[in-house]
């Protein structure tokens, strides 16, 4: 993990308030793995003060580039969205424990379930799973048609279903509705998205093994401030904890309380 300035290679809007940012030029690209995140400082001054945790969507070690995708919704991410190619961003990373590829064997089927701005880290994961000989199915949920992104890219890697809550694109309903309706069968689940979605996945497929990537408001991103802790399941003392920034953000299904 290092702090470095990375150059913006490109920044483009890929859906309503959603931006794809390509960064280049730091050694940290070589260590990054699927499911990890970067802690970005969006301005040099003190407002906003803290870094923004943003998950890595694609790692290109040959070019030395990292792609991140984020939603511009608060002050910090809206400022980040104004940055242009050629400008620099201070990056702390790569942070966190990403998705392990050991959970699925060659020839097995993995379903990658993403919700909204939880979709991006699944892209690098899918690239890695495919190159490891795993068959991937993607189920991507969004609020509406304006929010959909990366459908084509995922489709190139495997079967891809898009669900929208308002029914304006793809299948109407939740990602779980789509899995049920299409009768999808799979060996492993990998998911990232809003907590209610992760809870629904845990509840709907109790017998399946899998991994969930969690989100929480973070401070330092390196495990020192204890802002982003969660309880461990089946812990009668209620004192055991995991830090989402360093023990996670990816946990095995059933490991922590959602």
Partner 1 sequence: MSKLNMELPGLSMKNPIMPASGCFGFGQEYGKLYDLSKLGAIAIKATTVETRFGNPTPRVAETSSGMLNAIGLQNPGLEHVLGNELVWLENYDVPIIANVAGSKIEDYIEVAEKISKAQNVHALELNISCPNVKEGGIAFGTNPEVASELTKLVKEVSDVPVYVKLSPNVTDIVEMAVAVEKAGADGLSMINTLLGMRIDLKKRKPILANGFGGLSGPAVKPVAIRMVHQVSQAVSIPIIGMGGVSTAEDVVEFFLAGASAVAVGTANFVDPFVCPNIIDKLPSVLDELEVTHISELIGGSWK
User: How far is it, in rounded angstroms, from Cα 190 to Cα 97?
Assistant: 14
Q: Is 77 annotated as a binding residue?
A: yes
Q: Is 54 annotated as a binding residue?
A: yes
User: Crossing angle of helices 175-182/195-204, nearest 10°?
Assistant: 30
Q: Is 192 annotated as a binding residue?
A: no
**CB 243, min distance to partner 1, A:** 10
**CB 125, min distance to partner 1, A:** 25
**CB 195, min distance to partner 1, A:** 11
What are the helix (H) ranges across 75-232?
75-81, 120-131, 151-157, 175-182, 195-204
Q: Is 70 annotated as a binding residue?
A: yes
Q: Based on CB atoms, which residue is closest to partner 1, 5 or 131? A: 5
Q: Based on CB atoms, which residue is closest to partner 1, 76 or 120? A: 76
**CB 238, min distance to partner 1, A:** 6
**CB 2, min distance to partner 1, A:** 9
Task: Find the radius of gyration of the CA atoms of the chain.
Answer: 18
Whether the CA torsion 132, 133, 134, 138 is positive or negative: it is positive
Asked if residues 55 and 37 have their Cβ atoms less than 8 Å apart, the reply is: yes
Instruction: Write out 190-230 in H/E/C secondary structure.
Output: EEECCHHHHHHHHHHCCCCEEEEECCCCCCCCCCCCCCCEE
Q: Based on CB atoms, which residue is closest to partner 1, 223 or 254? A: 223
Residue ranges binding partner 1 (CB under 8 A):
1, 3, 41, 46-51, 76, 92, 216-231, 237-239, 241, 246
Q: Based on CB atoms, which residue is closest to partner 1, 47 or 152? A: 47
User: How far is it, in rounded angstroms, from Cα 49 to Cα 136?
Assistant: 39
Q: Based on CB atoms, which residue is closest to partner 1, 64 or 223? A: 223
Q: Which residue has the tokens 């969660």?
A: 230
Asked if residues 127 and 60 have their Cβ atoms less than 8 Å apart, the reply is: no
Annotated binding residues for FAD, as ranges? Answer: 52-55, 69-71, 76-77
Annotated binding residues, as ranges? Answer: 52-55, 69-71, 76-77, 220, 225, 228, 245
Annotated binding residues for [2Fe-2S] cluster, as ranges? Answer: 220, 225, 228, 245
């Amino acid at each position: 993990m290092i702090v470095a300035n990375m150059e913006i290679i490109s920044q483009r809007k890929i859906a309503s308030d959603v931006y794809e940012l390509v960064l280049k030029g730091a050694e940290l690209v070589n260590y990054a793995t699927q499911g990890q995140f970067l802690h970005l400082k969006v301005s040099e001054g003190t407002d906003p003060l803290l870094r923004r945790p943003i998950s890595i969507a694609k790692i290109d070690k040959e070019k030395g580039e990292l792609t991140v995708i984020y939603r511009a919704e608060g002050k910090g991410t809206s400022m980040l969205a104004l940055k242009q190619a050629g400008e620099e961003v201070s990056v702390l990373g790569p942070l966190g424990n990403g998705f392990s590829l050991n959970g699925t064997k060659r020839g097995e089927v993995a379903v990658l379930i993403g919700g909204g701005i939880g979709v991006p880290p699944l892209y690098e994961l899918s690239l890695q799973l495919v190159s490891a000989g795993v068959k991937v199915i993607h189920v991507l949920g969004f609020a509406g048609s304006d929010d959909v992104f990366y459908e084509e890219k995922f489709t190139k890697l495997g079967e891809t279903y898009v669900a929208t809550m308002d029914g304006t694109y793809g299948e109407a309903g939740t990602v779980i509705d789509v899995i049920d309706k299409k009768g999808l069968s799979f060996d492993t689940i990998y998911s990232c998205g809003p907590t209610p979605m992760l809870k629904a996945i845990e509840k709907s497929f109790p017998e399946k093994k899998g991994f969930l990537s969690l989100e929480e408001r973070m401070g330092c991103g390196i495990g020192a401030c204890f802002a982003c802790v969660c309880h461990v399941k089946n812990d009668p003392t209620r004192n055991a904890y995991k830090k989402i920034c360093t023990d996670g953000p990816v946990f095995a299904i059933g490991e922590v309380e959602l």
